[in-house]
Homo-oligomer: A and B are copies of this chain.
Amino acid sequence: MTGKNFASDNITGVAREIMARLVAENDGACLPYGDDAYTKAVEVAFNKTFETDVSVMLVSTGTAANALALACSCPPYGTVFCHNEAHIEREEGGAVEHLAGGARLVPLAGADAKLDAGSLDAAIRAYLPSAHFFRPAAVSITQATEFGTVYSLAEIRAIADVAHGHDLKLHMDGARFANAVASQDCSAAEMSWKAGVDVLSFGATKNGAMAAESVVFFDRSLLAGAAELRKRAGMLWSKHRFLAVQWDAYLADGLWLRLAKSANDRARALGDALATLQSAELAHPVQANEVFVRLPDAALDRLEADGFEFYRYGGGLIRLVASFATTETDVAALLASLKACLN
């Protein structure tokens, strides 16, 4: 349980199944830098999860994964089109710009933190004249989005078609990919390469791992230089088995989807309950594990005084995040406290 903390899904510890595997696989010696049996095994697990042969690089942060995926997709003089709420644009300190050697992000507007295929097409066209001398190279979408919404498979496909029509690669920032897959009741393959995604940042940290992110390459042409970039960016673990083991536990027996479904269920329950309150207004549809809601400031003050934690953006808007570790009791306690505050 996460108690009164709804600030994020990274306020959690490690899912017990994953921690148990870390402990269990601690004995014995194995070669460093990924040249070990655990890493070989987890590559098979990725192939099975995505129903195709993929290339995978394991790293420890989402920022590292996004920067690596996009530096492999975009030359130094290229542009990456993304939403203006995208994590790569707002929260990652210029990691993409840095690792890609001076590339540029082009932030675009769009409802519910989602890119729209038509607007994207127009934006790329506006960048195409050679006088700009920046070369459009990639599109990045976040799934689930920064506002807790989820692209449908058709929406992803439409964006992929625009990107590929201009010879751009499509990257998906899947820090909450598990929540999105659980939300759409589809397969990992359907939400990624089958919908046109070329490279995926697939996260485990927010959903139960200690520090385990990955870059999944569906388009092998993007691999040129990937190993060198990972090394020079300082992302390559020496005791690599401990990254591999986290992923192996995460992907085994559908754990990743069970954990995500639990988080989504908690968020939906929270959203449904809030929707019945006259003084609450949902800012975005609740489609994954995040709830954005507007409430009276007085009520928010009292919630905070009660010890609840959440991001507060001003104007009464807050974010409540449910994680794999959030319990029904946690949600019920928040709702009870909130109702008391509103009276």
Number of residues of chain A lying within 8 A (CB) of chain B: 73
Chain A 27-63 residues near chain B, CB threshold 8 A: 27-32, 59-63
Residues of B within 8 A of A29 (CB): 2-3, 5, 11-13, 325
A254 in the interface (beta carbon within 8 A) = no
Q: State whether A77 and B229 are in contact (beta carbons under 8 Å apart), knowing that A7-B31, A132-B91, A237-B60 are contacts in the complex.
A: yes
- Name the residue of chain B whose CB is nearest to the CB of A100: B102
**Interface of A (DSSP majority class):** loop
Q: Which of A138-191 contact B (CB under 8 A)?
A: none
Asked whether A104 is an interface residue with its Cβ less than 8 Å from the other chain, the reply is yes
Q: Which residues of A contact B (CB under 8 A)?
A: 2-3, 5, 7-8, 10-14, 19, 22-23, 25-32, 59-68, 75-77, 90-95, 97-99, 101-105, 130-135, 205-206, 210-211, 225, 227-229, 231-239, 242, 325
A60 to B239, CA, bound (A): 10
Q: How far is the CA of A165 from the CA of B265 in the complex (A)?
A: 47
Q: How often does this chain occur in the complex, in copies?
A: 4
Contact of A93 among B12, B23, B232 (CB under 8 A): B232
Contact B227 A239, beta carbon cutoff 8 Å: no
Contact indicator A133/B97 (Cβ below 8 Å): no
Asked whether, in the complex, the Cβ of B95 is within 8 Å of the Cβ of A104, the reply is no
Q: Which residues of B contact A7 (CB under 8 A)?
A: 31
Interchain nearest-CB distance for A307 vs B (Å): 11
Give the residue among A60, A90, A93 with the most B Cβ atoms within 10 A.
A93
Residues of B close to A130: CB separation below 8 A: 227
Closest B residue by C-beta to A235: B234
Q: How many angstroms between the C-alpha atoms of A13 and B5 in the bound complex?
A: 33
B3 touches A242 (CB 8 A): no
Given contacts A92-B234, A205-B239, A233-B233, 13 further A-B contacts (CB under 8 A): A5-B29, A7-B31, A8-B32, A22-B22, A22-B210, A64-B234, A75-B228, A91-B131, A93-B134, A93-B232, A98-B102, A206-B238, A211-B242
